[in-house]
Amino acid sequence: MTRRSVDRRTLLSAIGGVGVLGAASRPTLAKPTGEAAGPTVYVGSSSLDGTLYAVDATTGEQVWAFTDPTGTIESSPTVVDGVVYFGTGLENETLYAVDAVTGEEEWSFTEPSGGLRSPTVVDGSVYVGSFDETVYAVDAATGEEEWRFTEPDDWINTAPTVVDGTVYFTSDDALLYAVDAATGEEEWRFTEPRRIDGSSPTVGDGTVYIGSGEGMSGGAVYAITAATGEEEWVYDGIVSEVKSSLTLVDGTLYAGGDGRVYAVDAETGEEEWLFDRSGDTHISSPTVQDGTVFIGTASRFGQLYAIDAETGVFEWAYSEVGNWIRSSPTVWNGLVYVGSDDDTLHVLDSETGEIEWEFTEPTDDVMSSPTVVDDPAGGDSVGSRVRQGTLGHHQAFADRATGTAIDDPDGADESDDVGDTDTTDDAAEDDPAEEESPAHDGDEDDDASPGPGVIGAIAGLGGGGYLLQRRL
């Protein structure tokens, strides 16, 4: 067990008692008001009065709010069959199931003793990782525990990805685990990375992809055979740690880190292009839609970038955030939804980067990635950003030209759907920093190279056509 794990266990033992007491003497939850009837965006606030908001996706008007007065909501909500699933922590570590229309609680699962990350819902089960170093499987209809996996020696700081009957997840013990989704039995573990912090597994074409930190040598992207856990290749051209999940679209992996965005060939591990904005850090996972990569930066003055997915060329940047962006963007119906540490949900035009509206009700950081659902009564976040449990986690194949999702031949359980936005070839706005930090394709002379198109999926986020960040 690592020294860090010991420190965290000590922390959990100190806080865990509070969590158990909180579960035993449950606080009174604020009653939601109103009902969601049309396209709705769901997003959480990380304040100690943690609130899950349902907001009209077109107008920005609040529909209802579900408040747990002792729990923060940093996880991204997952919507399945008219139910919103999300976790809280570190004060009241609870997995909630809430009616997507009314905001009324359906059930709560209070066994975890550490903060919960984003849940993944597949085949009637909810899979969620916790800071108590455990992954739980819970019945989606009743909230009853099905199994728990307790082998990790450090926090589970990412969302699980579930594909073809296997749960893939990473832990801060620097391991990638594969566990049977029905029984919770371990299938294999991958031990090569030196550090994993925030990169949930992305799965496509029988391969698992993760980002890592490799100490003084920088960061890396690993490709691992999903069936056996054997390494296929490693891309080690990343200057520092990869703290976000990878997004896979049309055979290209997109990764953020150290102020740069990388496009890497998913089959060979060769770099396709590099978008360089040194000085920023990317915790937000990339979202790819209609030929554009959207990604936020965790810097003092956070920015949201739009980058051409095929060439890595700058399209636009939104710089009016004023604080970190840890939330991963969601794209729906020509709009980009992203939360930030300025306590705001920002909504922008996906083609121009112009602000459409802002939702300012949260009283603390919005680290939760938004989920948009067309039909709250029966809709899913599959096809949106939250279904997979974090951002960018199962493969979603996408047609670059039309923005139409194509079925995954591997039969991934969840994926992000594409929205109805039109693809355009209009010239991009000039980037004020373009001359200082141009995009690269791996060579110093060229700034264009092949890339993908529409989306990278998340198994746990959700609803109308976006990608999400698997970190939360």
* pLDDT tens figures, 158-217: 889 999 999 999 887 788 999 999 999 999 999 887 777 778 899 999 999 988 876 666
Q: What is the pLDDT of residue 399?
A: 27
What local confidence, expressed as pLDDT, does residue 20 receive? 31
pLDDT in tens, 319-346: 877 788 888 899 999 999 988 888 888 8
pLDDT at 251: 94
E strand or H helix at 21: helix 3-24
How many angstroms separate the CA atoms of 161 and 168, rounded? 5
Residue 72's pLDDT is 82
Quick check: 352 pLDDT over 90? yes
Please provide the average confidence, as pLDDT, over all residues in the chain: 74
Asked whether the predicted pLDDT for residue 462 surpasses 60, the reply is no
Percentages of the chain per state (helix, strand, coil), in multiples of 5: 5, 40, 55
| Beta-strand runs (E) in 164-259 | 166-170, 176-180, 186-190, 202-204, 207-213, 219-225, 231-238, 247-249, 252-257
pLDDT at 276 exceeding the cut of 90: no
Output the pLDDT for position 154: 79
Give CA–CA dist 152/32, Å, rounded: 37
Helix H or strand E segment including 129: strand 125-129
Residue type, 83: V
Question: pLDDT (tens digit, 9 = 90+) per residue, 112-149?
Answer: 887 787 899 999 999 999 888 899 999 999 999 999 99
pLDDT value for 45: 85
47-61, 216-230, 371-385, 428-442: which range is least confident on average? 428-442
Residue-wise pLDDT for 11-48, tens only, equals 333 333 333 333 334 445 555 668 998 999 998 888 76
CA distance linking residue 255 with residue 442, whole number of Å: 14
Q: Residue 116's beta-bridge partner residues?
A: 130
Rg (CA), the chain: 20
Region 449-468: mean pLDDT is 27
User: What digits encode the pLDDT tens for the residues 358-403?
Assistant: 998 888 787 788 999 999 998 776 543 333 323 332 222 222 222 3
Q: Residue 261: what residue type?
A: V
**DSSP label of 442:** S
In the predicted structure, residue 315 carries a pLDDT above the cut 90? yes
Q: Sorting pLDDT into bands at 50, 70 and 90, what band is 219?
A: confident
Query: Which region among 224-228, 284-288, 324-328 has the lowest average model confidence (pLDDT)?
Result: 324-328
**Nearest-angstrom CA–CA distance, 211 and 242:** 5
- C-alpha count within 13 angstroms, C-beta hemisphere, residue 102: 5
Which has the closest alpha carbon to 347: 322, 364, 328, 330? 330
- What is the predicted pLDDT for the residue at 168? 95
pLDDT of 444 over the 50 cut:
no
> How does DSSP classify residue 13?
H
Q: Give the pLDDT band of residue 279 (cuts 50, 70, 90).
A: low
For 107-127, b/e burial (b = at least 16 CB within 10 A) is: bbbbbbbbbbbbbbbbeebbb
Mean pLDDT of 395-418: 30
* The pLDDT of residue 229: 96
286, two tokens: 């990339």
pLDDT band at 67 (very low <50, low <70, confident <90, very high): confident
pLDDT tens, position by position, 73-106? 877 889 999 999 998 876 778 899 999 999 999 9
What's the average model confidence in pLDDT over 428-447? 37
The pLDDT of residue 172 is 77
Token pair listed for 281: 């850090």
User: Which pLDDT score, from 0 to 100, does residue 95 have?
Assistant: 92
For residues 399 and 372, what is the distance between their CA atoms, to the nearest angstrom? 21
Beta strands per DSSP E along 284-396: 287-289, 292-296, 304-308, 314-318, 330-332, 335-340, 344-349, 355-359, 371-373, 386-387
pLDDT at residue 174, rounded to an integer: 81
Structure tokens given for 197: 């912090």
d(CA 394, CA 247): 8
Write down the pLDDT at residue 430. Answer: 41
Block residue for tokens 């067990």 = 1
pLDDT band at 278 (very low <50, low <70, confident <90, very high): low
Q: Regarding predicted confidence, which is higher, 133 or 416?
A: 133
CB 392 within 8 A of CB 248: yes
What number of other Cβ atoms are within 10 A of residue 6's Cβ? 12
- Model confidence band, residue 264 (pLDDT cutoffs 50, 70, 90): very high
Instruction: Return the pLDDT at 382.
Output: 56
Can you give the pTM of this predicted structure?
0.77
